[in-house]
Amino acid sequence: MSSNNIIDRVFEEALKNLSDLISFKTVSGSSNIDLINYCENKLSKIGAESFKTFDKEKKRVNLFSTLKNKTNNNGKGVILSGHTDVVPASKNWSSDPFKAIHKNNKVYGRGACDMKGFIACALAFAPIFAKEKLNKPIHFAFTFDEETACQGAPLLIKELSNKKLDCGICIVGEPTNMKIIDAHKGCYEYTTYFKGMAGHGSQPDKAVNAVEYAVRYIDKLMQIREQLKKKSS
């Protein structure tokens, strides 16, 4: 079957899934359990095996579901990953942000693009994957609170390590204008303290001004920033 025929088969199902997913008010920090149960039920019906990891309050949850390979190939699997939370809706919406509106071949709703759209597509394709003779397992990883410093994903990653689940590739369906992004910016955060030495205003050379050294530090960071700009261009 051609790829176009497959897309035609799943298109309507993906739209229905998306409408359902948008209706769950999974704003970061709030419960996403109902949405996760929705996804788990769909995947369990086609034979996927799942486990969950929860936050301390048991109100937010990650889902990891697997369609096992049906061959003797022990190759590493593929993860289709997406976060289930959305940022709060502003007051500028002209429609209900948690109700999918289909207009001009577009779907409007909180999270339609970032990133319930990808989850909707993954769920729509899952039954097709389940019928195939897979050489590698396909995993579905749906996490909570990505919009607030990726709070859910680390819990899931830790559990994957505990279960010794090692996968070959992870496809994260963030909106990138249909361009493949094969890396992501990293981040280190530091806290720097500056301590001076008190002295009399008439003899500043015998004291240490902490602010002065903090300014030097910041200036050096600005120089490094300019160097990194040239490196990345």
Residues forming the active site:
85, 146
- CB count within 10 Å of CB 216 equals 11
CA 155: distance to chain centroid? 13
Half-sphere exposure of 134 (CA within 13 A, CB side): 20
Question: CA torsion angle for 128, 134, 137, 142 (degrees, to 10)?
Answer: -10
d(CA 61, CA 77): 22
Residue type, 53: T
174 vs 114: CA distance, rounded Å: 6
Q: 114-124 burial string, b = 16+ CB within 10 Å, else e?
A: bbbbbbbbbbb
